[in-house]
Amino acid sequence: MQTLELPSRYGMLPALSWGQPSAQPVLAIHGWLDNSLSFEQLAPRLVEQFPHFRFIAVDLPGHGLAPHLPAGVSYPFWTWSEVLVDLLTFFGRPIHVMGHSMGAAAALLVAGSCPELMRSLVCIDALGPATGTQQSAVELFRRAMLEPTGRASPGFRELQEAIELRRRATPWLTAEQLQAMVARNLEHRAGRWHWRTDPRLRNHSRIRFTEDMLAGFLAGADLPVLVVRASKGILPEEIIQQRMACLPRGELVSLVGHHHCHMDPGSLPELVVAISHFLRECDCAE
């Protein structure tokens, strides 16, 4: 595993990579309140299958070791899509992209609006962002506008306290599976462990797309898209089928596991097989 930094409109972003530096880049985008180390189990296994690829996972702004946005600025959902466009532009050619949860949802918006920037997209337990309705828009906007600015926590005396708190939010992962990723979201100062994660990330969205609006992005994603659905994940059957029907070149694979299946050793073998088969098909089709 190597460390590097990648440029974006929000500053230089820390990243981790697996594979030879001269190999073709494959970009991995993490989920909400996670960071690049969420791919530390999946990426090395994919490198074994594809030595000509270099898997690069970036810390999004406000996550992991990445800088926060300036004071007074919120994190609208399209922030992550803007970052992805910056990174794809930096690489200078279409590349494979994979994302988990929020990262996959942000990547889908880019695939639907700028499909020429990607060779393919792998979405792990997500297919587009959470949506809203015309009827709920005013209340959603009001709640977000009146919401207090995110406040920092008082911190933890022991690292394990933070890991246990995160484990309660994702009970399908063990403390051991979470330790490295959670530690990257923390810093030690004044004798206590504090979250590096920007507390504003927990604030509610002001605006959400409707399903009809999202359907336009799905229809515009004219590239190979693999959607991996975890059996105990967050994707309702009705929604996933409705959205899959809009994808011009979509493929759906279901596996046994939870939302963070890319971090779970029990789900990893099946996930690696699905992604490997998809990437080989993409390479053969070019």
Q: Count the Cβ atoms, other than its own, within 10 Å of residue 107.
A: 29
pLDDT of residue 271: 97
Taking alpha carbons only, the member of 21, 77, 31, 33 closest to residue 262 is: 31
pLDDT of residue 59: 98
If you write DSSP's letter for every residue of 200-268 in order, what string do you get?
A: GGGSPPS----HHHHHHHHHH--S-EEEEEEEESS--HHHHHHHHTT-TTEEEEEEEEETTGGG-TTTH
Structure tokens at 163: 């890991």
* Residues in a beta bridge with 124: 100, 228
Residue 109 φ/ψ, nearest 5 degrees:
-65, -40
Question: Domain 2-131+209-285 belongs to what topology?
Answer: Rossmann fold (3.40.50)
pLDDT of residue 154: 80
pLDDT of residue 285: 62
Question: What stretches in the chain show pLDDT beneath 70?
Answer: 150-152, 285-286
CB–CB of 116/139 below 8 Å? no
The enclosing H or E element of 2 equals: strand 2-6
Supply angle C-alpha 134, 140, 142, rounded to 5.
120
pLDDT of residue 213: 95
